[in-house]
Structure 1
């Protein structure tokens, strides 16, 4: 069983799956893209034949930014129906307004923060895509910088845990627990509460 898992993790298809998951999780935030990247990093560190970390970092950043930009363009085309639905939900409309203002005034900082909060990437993309004042070029820059920060954070977290623990599965579990805890703390932070009005 262990050798089969090791063979799966060493397969190029595993890394393709990680990159596809990172690209698509803007559409489906339930995809475990960050978790898969942490697993790939831990495996790479614990096995000499693993993918170089710089490739995992660059691949993660490119896949993340690519997903953002595809989603942004798709949502921007269907802005009208989204705006009408939001107008019928006062609380959601207020949160949308706060996040829209934050994206206009601090695009990069807001997108970095959103990227580290569970489902934040999807929400920031949807709000940004429905804002006619947020240009595609400005969104692209925010997406590129936040994708680089997210990839560095995730790869760094996986690497740190791989260095701290000799056993790969302990590294993975600890890395995933740390990523989840940090995301939840950020989601309840003052900045997140100010955006959501909770």
Structure 2
């Protein structure tokens, strides 16, 4: 298994795989791209792949995926918003997200990059609500670069700590992958509960009014 993983990580095709995973994760969060990013960083501690290229390719792929999702929301969102009836839960949620982006758009775009499942919702909502593209591009680039660097460094330090024992380093990297994915899933569920509770409070206030 170690030899197979090593041959994959030492191949130039790894950068293409990493790029495509980051792009797809930004549009269809079926499998968090943190896994391959952490493993790439861990193997980079041994010299292959290049640690700088891993971080930059991952960040670029993440930003491309986010922009695709933003453009989908920008193109298809406004007609869908117009069809939402005021007073419905969907209309309330859309209004809440729009107001949140207006108040703290940059912070939301950056934080959303670190929450699988919610990162696509954040970028899609930014497009739907016509959040300014220049501001989105700036903050998304910051978030994507932070995500690429942090994930690569986390894997790299794990690989460095066990450089004399590659098998243990691989195990540690895999454990890190599982931990990061679990934390992200917990954060995603907590955010979803917060979103539902916020929309519920808004609905109740609309009824009182």
TM-score interval (norm. to shorter): 0.7 to 0.9
**Contact 2:71 2:127 survives alignment (8 Å):** yes
CA separation of 1:101 and 1:88: change in aligned 2, threshold 3 A: closer
The alignment status of 1:175 with 2:173, answered yes or no, reads: no
TM-score (norm 1): 0.84
Count of residue correspondences: 194
Once the 2 structures are TM-superposed, how far is the Cα of residue 176 of structure 1 from its aligned partner? 0.7
Match runs of 1:1-198 below 5 Å: 2-45=2-45, 47-48=46-47, 50-83=48-81, 87=85, 90-132=88-130, 134-165=131-162, 166=165, 167-187=168-188, 193-197=193-197
**Contact 1:15 1:40 survives alignment (8 Å):** no
SS in structure 1 at match of 2:26: coil
SS in structure 2 at match of 1:197: helix
**Contact 1:116 1:186 survives alignment (8 Å):** no
**Contact 1:26 1:71 survives alignment (8 Å):** yes
TM-score (norm 2): 0.80
User: Bigger relative contact order, structure 1 or 2, given CA contacts below 8 A and separation 6+?
Assistant: 2
Max radius of gyration: which structure? 2
Consecutive unaligned residues of structure 1, counting only runs of 5 or more, are none
Consecutive unaligned residues of structure 2, counting only runs of 5 or more, are 199-209
Per-residue deviation, residues 6-39 of structure 1 (Å, max 9, x unmatched):
2122111122111111012122101331111111
Once the 2 structures are TM-superposed, how far is the Cα of residue 82 of structure 1 from its aligned partner? 3.2
Once the 2 structures are TM-superposed, how far is the Cα of residue 131 of structure 1 from its aligned partner? 0.5
CA distance in structure 2 between the aligned counterparts of 1:53 and 1:143, rounded to whole angstroms: 22
